[in-house]
Amino acid sequence: MRALLLICFIFSINASDWKLNPTDLPAAIKQQTSYATTLKQVTPSVVAIDAEKLTEEAIAESEEDLMQKRLVPTAGSGVIISEDGYIVTNYHVIHDTRSLRIHLFDGSILRAQIVGMDKHTDLALLKVSSNHSLKPINISNSDLVEIGDLAFAIGNPMGVGHTVTKGMISALGRKDLGITTFDNFIQTDAAINQGNSGGALVDALGRLIGINTAIVTNSGGSQGLGFSIPTKQCIPILNQLRKQGKMIRGDLGITVKDLTPQQHAFIQQNSNNKGVLVEKVESDSPAALAGLEKGDILKRFNGKVIQSAVILRQDIANQKPRAVVRLNLVRNDKPMTIDIRVSEWEDVFSKHLVSIKERLTAVQLVENNGFVEVQKVNDKSALSKLFSPKDKIISLNQQLVSTIDRWNTILNELQAKEIVVHIKRNGQDQYILIRESIERENFKE
């Protein structure tokens, strides 16, 4: 035992403090293994964004608490694209927000105004006015990107501040993901998390190649499946948003899809094996009036070989209304050429905007002992999480409700895009906020 103690004592006397090796990596090695110099140049071009987003619905025990719940903090990222203060981000980052704040890399905070938004590509353009010297990012042509190229994602994940992650380009032209109307994404395994949306995907030289937009995940965090909007797609949209504040798109009135391998085998025309199938032609549309038919195989658009249905939809959308486009096609094994005058694309989202009155049809009411009560709530409606049977309706927007007729009168006269319903539940006051929204469910029976 004495020998053991002596050994331990001697060991503790001879032990020295750990120290840092002061020697830096040789320049040649550092150049091969570090991207610090490149990232120092590009990181100041990426900003953090925070704001308050309006909730679609909420419930609270007082109107004061409800108003606090009405606005919830949200965070994202953006990229400076010009010295005069233009910043690109995602539509979903800034839509329905208040008090947009831009956090620069040096810690400065600026107020931003929305120049324009495009929900169909999930892009938005902001503008800041400041005496600050802003550093715009170098924008590369994303068509030059190849699978296997190094990539860095820069943004504000989880609201922690400027962060860089490294990966590679995993795939190109990812489509039919249901993320946007015009899916055409760069896929990367560089870690992208909540808050990275609107941030930069850059190449090994620090040049912008995409705007980070979405992830596929089972956990809520990065699983190596990140998606970015290519710069080739971004720039025309951002230029139009800057000039007009909105997107004006072309339309032919057709639905197209990629050919299956079996369908390709039947096509004998032309030397290339590209083309898309016309799945539907809208009645009275430009395509119908020009003679295009369901089942036609479209081969070229304005002389350019049609690579996919996604690219064709984008090419049509990029046309100005009243422009004339030429389609080369195959019908019954015979080549044909049709010229079509483009019409303006109608925003299909506007067709699905559900009013407060329409949303409240999911709530069935009954009069009981001088009160209006909730009898039933359709369980397919999001409002089933807010209303319960036996809830007593006290008021709508501070207007007393004593009968179902009074309830309907208030709703019919309603012009606001949100309403506060005062109820009593088990003797306790509750206040419910309801807003009109994009329809996500069909709760009508």
CATH of the domain at 63: 2.40.10.10
Asked if residue 148 and residue 121 are part of one domain, the reply reads no
Asked if residue 387 and residue 311 are part of one domain, the reply reads no
pLDDT for 135: 92
Final residue before a domain boundary, out of 128, 156, 191: 128
The band of 11, judged by pLDDT with boundaries at 50, 70 and 90, is: very low
Asked if residue 357 and residue 338 are part of one domain, the reply reads no
46 in a structural domain: yes
Final residue before a domain boundary, out of 344, 377, 409: 344
Asked if residue 175 and residue 220 are part of one domain, the reply reads yes
CB 360 within 8 A of CB 411: yes
pLDDT for 4: 45
How many structural domains compose the chain?
A: 4
CATH number for the domain spanning 399: value is: 2.30.42.10
For this structure, is 92 an active site residue? Answer: yes
Average of pLDDT values for 222-248? Answer: 87
pLDDT for 376: 93
Average of pLDDT values for 69-84? Answer: 86
pLDDT for 225: 81
Asked if residue 176 and residue 98 are part of one domain, the reply reads no
Of 297, 113, 120, 81, which is closest to residue 199 (Cα–Cα)?
81
363/66 Cα distance (integer angstroms): 20
Final residue before a domain boundary, out of 106, 128, 150: 128
Q: Which of 21-35, 132-146, 330-344 has the lowest mean pLDDT?
A: 21-35
**Cα atoms in the Cβ-side hemisphere of radius 13 Å centred on 256:** 30
97 in a structural domain: yes
29 in a structural domain: no
**321: Cβ–Cβ under 8 A, 6 or more apart, which residues?**
248, 250, 342, 343, 344
pLDDT for 404: 92
Average of pLDDT values for 24-53? Answer: 81
Q: Which two tokens stand for residue 113?
A: 């105004």
The band of 104, judged by pLDDT with boundaries at 50, 70 and 90, is: very high
Range of the domain at 210: 142-233
CB 324 within 8 A of CB 318: no
Asked if residue 214 and residue 179 are part of one domain, the reply reads yes
Asked if residue 267 and residue 203 are part of one domain, the reply reads no
Does the pLDDT at position 285 exceed 50? yes
CB 297 within 8 A of CB 276: yes
Q: Which two tokens stand for residue 239?
A: 């230029």
Of 218, 198, 222, which is closest to residue 210 (Cα–Cα)?
198
Q: Give this prediction's pTM.
A: 0.71
Asked if residue 382 and residue 319 are part of one domain, the reply reads no
Q: Which of 45, 50, 77, 92 is catalytic?
A: 92
C-alpha gyration radius of the chain: 29
pLDDT for 61: 78
Average of pLDDT values for 31-54? Answer: 86
Residue that wins the pLDDT comparison between 261 and 235 = 235
Q: Strand runs (DSSP E) across 284-398, as ranges?
A: 297-301, 304-305, 324-331, 334-341, 343-344, 353-354, 363-368, 371-377, 392-396
268 in a structural domain: yes
Give the model confidence (pLDDT) of 351-389 as tens digits. 456 778 888 888 999 998 889 999 999 988 888 888 999
Residues, the chain: 445
| In the chain, % of residues over pLDDT 70 | 85
Give the model confidence (pLDDT) of 307-349 as tens digits. 888 888 888 988 888 999 999 998 888 899 999 999 988 765 4
Q: Which of 45, 103, 120, 122 is catalytic?
A: 122
Of 346, 349, 341, which is closest to residue 321 (Cα–Cα)?
341
The band of 445, judged by pLDDT with boundaries at 50, 70 and 90, is: very low
The band of 1, judged by pLDDT with boundaries at 50, 70 and 90, is: very low
242 in a structural domain: no
Residue that wins the pLDDT comparison between 192 and 224 = 192
Asked if residue 338 and residue 256 are part of one domain, the reply reads yes
For this structure, is 197 an active site residue? Answer: yes
Residue that wins the pLDDT comparison between 159 and 384 = 384
Asked if residue 266 and residue 196 are part of one domain, the reply reads no
Average of pLDDT values for 110-135? Answer: 90
255/373 Cα distance (integer angstroms): 47
For this structure, is 122 an active site residue? Answer: yes
Asked if residue 372 and residue 411 are part of one domain, the reply reads yes
172 in a structural domain: yes
pLDDT for 20: 59
Asked if residue 123 and residue 58 are part of one domain, the reply reads yes
25 in a structural domain: no
Q: Which of 197, 228, 308, 381 is catalytic?
A: 197
Q: Which of 14-28, 119-133, 272-286 has the highest mean pLDDT?
A: 119-133
Beta bridge partners of 188: 169, 226
296 in a structural domain: yes
